[in-house]
Structure 1
């Protein structure tokens, strides 16, 4: 079964390992793991940790590491796609399609015109904030429920939609989410979010949010991130619970898979406390090599082959085909 992962921090991993002298990370580390699990495509995010002293500098380091991988490395097994026909061709040729995204635009500060530059560099999915408050939006880690989108964030969304950049609503605070949904003109995606009703944490989506995403023709990417699967005992079966819940609420046509695996990020000292706090990975779905376990669990739960195909990759491909990605 093909699988398209709608959220992975591989570009972040590439930059970390580059600092340690490994310049061929995609081919030597990630390619064998992706192929063994049936992954046909990934949405690879550039994520800037807002906790570091100079996020803008870090952001540009990551852009450089990504550019090096694309332009200087020999990656015949990957297709770095920024058009839908490139993704189609990659799937036809049994290569791995790589879409590039920005997870939180803290790195651009107030310079929203830089979104155009990022588009020209090939980025096709963007979110405004991670968990933090920045110049554009309020992330889900903020305790101030009165703060939502900044005016610059609203302008940023307009720029994205004009360019043909997919707007990702994962990590937004609830107020930022609803502020955004009032102005969006195109379908949106939550690349890696689960159901709040099953795991009530700020990172997850409440039922009305899930319905709003579905109503605009969007997608919810169910995640394997343990702290948003279950607060006590995250397991692959509980990931299936989230899929089943959203399917019953809005239909399987609005579900994709955005795993957000973090097993390869343990080398980042700035994440040490976070990873230690969440050291228990989702049991049975610890990393990308365990993706076939999820597919089998969906079959055992009674999902049809056709529905599993939709969830695992076809919904996301159709989403991109339906005029969202140029």
Structure 2
């Protein structure tokens, strides 16, 4: 590896767009009973707050306001919008790719509101998709692992979780039940309205069905490489190629159990990034930290203030400044242009 001075890496980091595909502060803070939400106060109990976002050169990202198992989406959505309204100099709601650029230009943090695991909140009603869009949601996750044939599920069987073998992956793709009729309807409407479709937590059969049916590029916001860390939540080489062929983007997460349970270092995380870049091209890999979504598990990058260390490691591994810029924000910015913009 090359020797890269942190100051040199920081200079690049501050120039480029740093836009993260998956952040859980809204749901995690509501889940812990914080009322009202206060992202402006430094709080080491979390991975993220605005003071440390500033320190880490964080320009924005996808923020989860509802998921399957935890905080109520309406409650969390309202509290998130209240935070944005209360701090207009610091926070900006992202409804288009131009909002991302404007937030960066105006030294604001761009907040793209996302629902992860939509089944619980849609209640089998397409009008709920339309309502959430009107309320500012711009990304919808097919599942948070849940699935079933009962009314309202978007995929027909649950997604496995934990370490896996390739033989188990092959069997799962054959035996799993993919998108339900309602799931197909939600995907079609998401394309029509201008919602990003997130495949994180999806089962393998539904994964390929979405790629076949979606008219717009999709993303898996927080994942890693199964060849480097065999886990159900990581993508196989075939899946990475299929996602890239569809024009999609995958975000590498900071979860140690996705990176390397034995040695989850920043350098090992960058090996996942480089693997995807070499397999399908740098234009299909990004960052999806999962900050504040790991419970008590330490993240590979300790908190948002330490993000320049990842930039330093990417440069040390031989990625160019232009490639680092694509990975940190350029690829997600392009995806937003192709999906949520009119």
1:27 to 22, 27, 40: 40
* 1:298 aligned residue: 314
* 1:82 aligned residue: 95
* 2:9 aligned residue: none
CA distance in 2, matches of 1:171, 1:251: 23
- Greater mean alpha carbon deviation, residues 305-314 or residues 136-145: 136-145
- Give the 3-state SS of the residue equivalent to 1:113 in structure 2: helix
CA distance in 2, matches of 1:60, 1:79: 19
CA distance in 2, matches of 1:97, 1:74: 12
2:206 to 176, 180, 189: 176
1:219 aligns with 2:233: no
1:10 aligns with 2:25: yes
* 2:55 aligned residue: 36
* CA distance 1:48–1:323, change in 2 (3 Å): closer
1:160 aligns with 2:190: yes
Provide TM-score, normalisation by structure 2.
0.83
* CA distance 1:42–1:175, change in 2 (3 Å): same
- Give the 3-state SS of the residue equivalent to 1:39 in structure 2: coil
CA distance in 2, matches of 1:262, 1:226: 14
CA distance in 2, matches of 1:308, 1:179: 31
* 2:112 aligned residue: 99
2:122 to 93, 108, 121: 108
Return structure 1 stretches of 4+ with deviation > 4 angstroms.
none
CA distance in 2, matches of 1:291, 1:318: 22
CA contact (8 A) 2:37 2:79 kept: no
- Greater mean alpha carbon deviation, residues 131-140 or residues 201-210: 131-140
CA distance in 1, matches of 2:307, 2:193: 33
- Give the 3-state SS of the residue equivalent to 1:28 in structure 2: coil
CA distance in 2, matches of 1:324, 1:217: 15
CA shift, 1:194, in A, is: 0.8
CA distance in 2, matches of 1:24, 1:101: 17
Structure 2: 5+ residue runs without aligned partners? 1-12, 43-48, 162-167
Number of aligned residues: 304
CA shift, 1:49, in A, is: 4.1
1:60 aligns with 2:74: yes
CA distance in 2, matches of 1:319, 1:128: 17
Structure 1: 5+ residue runs without aligned partners? 267-274
CA-atom RMSD, angstroms? Answer: 2.1
Higher relative contact order (CA 8 A, sep 6+): 2
* 1:314 aligned residue: 330
